């Protein structure tokens, strides 16, 4: 049900915010001030088709080509004109040689009657995408713990409240999207084979199917109780650390910036 809720949340977001898709074109969406691109006359909305006569339709290919031409003139062809630009050898921090932001992605708005179906399809894709990331993160966490490394990118109820508050400020769709991510997280955590979690109960079912008889209820109950105590103590420790970080950060916004550092 956690995973199902995530699919619904992602589907709602896509139904209202549109579907991102590859337009197989390189579009300029931003240009930095005092950049070679601005000086040469490139404008936001331009579609880049060629560089030195080479057909380019992918952002990565364009970036790689421009990197090989730093300090040299490049003839950029858009849909309407040709421009000569010299990529910078040492661009300012946060900018590229040309000083442009480009994308292959456009937002597609299907007919209203089709949006729920598109939303569900992409909702499933997002659900599995986040699920894969969370499983990878958990595996990294387990490996770190096995090496005696204390995890720094784990947060509890305080962190969840902080991120939820910030997402709510952005808008309802951002909040719904975060609910979806959180639901995928809960779905995966719940199926972990740890006592007191759903996965722990599934583990006992598996054990009973192997040994051919039921585990004594008293033993199972005791193990689940121990697991619950461990989880509560872990939750308490994470909450105390989150409160300390929140106080030291001096506010929710700065606290969020510390998460994952």
**So where are the chain's domains?**
20-108, 115-258
CB-CB contact of 9 with 177 (8 Å): yes
Q: What is the pTM of this model?
A: 0.69
Q: Please, what sign has the CA dihedral across residues 199, 204, 210, 214?
A: negative
145: exposed, middle or buried (C-beta count within 10 Å: 0-12, 13-18, 19+)? exposed
Instruction: Provide the CATH number for the domain formed by 20-108 in this structure.
Output: 2.30.42.10
Q: What is the pLDDT of residue 13?
A: 92
CB-CB contact of 159 with 242 (8 Å): yes
pLDDT per residue of the chain (261 residues) written in tens, 0 to 9: 999 999 999 999 998 988 888 888 899 999 998 899 999 999 999 999 999 999 988 999 999 999 999 989 999 999 889 999 999 988 888 889 999 999 998 888 888 888 888 889 988 999 889 888 888 888 877 777 677 665 666 777 777 888 888 888 888 999 999 999 999 989 998 888 888 888 888 888 888 888 888 888 888 889 889 988 988 888 888 888 888 877 877 766 676 666 655
Q: What is the pLDDT of residue 156?
A: 77
d(CA 90, CA 150): 38
Q: What is the pLDDT of residue 82?
A: 92
Q: What is the pLDDT of residue 145?
A: 67
């Amino acid at each position: 049900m956690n995973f199902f809720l995530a699919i619904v949340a992602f589907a709602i977001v896509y139904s209202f915010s549109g579907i991102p898709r590859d337009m197989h074109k390189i579009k300029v969406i931003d240009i930095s001030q005092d950049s070679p691109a601005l000086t040469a006359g490139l404008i936001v909305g331009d579609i880049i088709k060629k560089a030195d006569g080479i057909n380019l339709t992918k952002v990565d290919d364009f970036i790689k080509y421009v990197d090989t031409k730093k300090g040299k003139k490049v003839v950029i062809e858009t849909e309407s004109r040709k421009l000569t630009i010299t990529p910078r050898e040492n661009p300012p921090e946060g900018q590229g040689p040309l000083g442009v932001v480009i994308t292959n992605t456009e937002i597609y708005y299907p007919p209203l009657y089709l949006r729920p179906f598109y939303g569900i399809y992409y909702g499933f894709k997002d659900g599995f995408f986040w699920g894969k990331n969370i499983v990878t993160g958990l595996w990294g966490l387990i490996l770190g713990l096995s090496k005696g490394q204390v995890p720094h990118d784990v947060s509890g109820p305080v962190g969840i409240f902080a991120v939820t508050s910030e997402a709510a400020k952005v808008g309802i769709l951002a909040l719904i999207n975060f609910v979806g991510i959180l639901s995928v997280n809960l779905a995966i955590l719940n199926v972990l084979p740890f006592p007191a979690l759903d996965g722990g109960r599934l583990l006992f079912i598996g054990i009973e199917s192997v040994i051919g008889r039921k585990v004594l209820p008293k033993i199972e109950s005791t193990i689940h109780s121990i697991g619950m105590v461990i989880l509560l103590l872990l939750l308490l420790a994470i909450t105390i650390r989150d409160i300390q970080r929140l106080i030291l950060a001096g506010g929710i916004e700065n606290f969020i910036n510390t998460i994952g550092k």
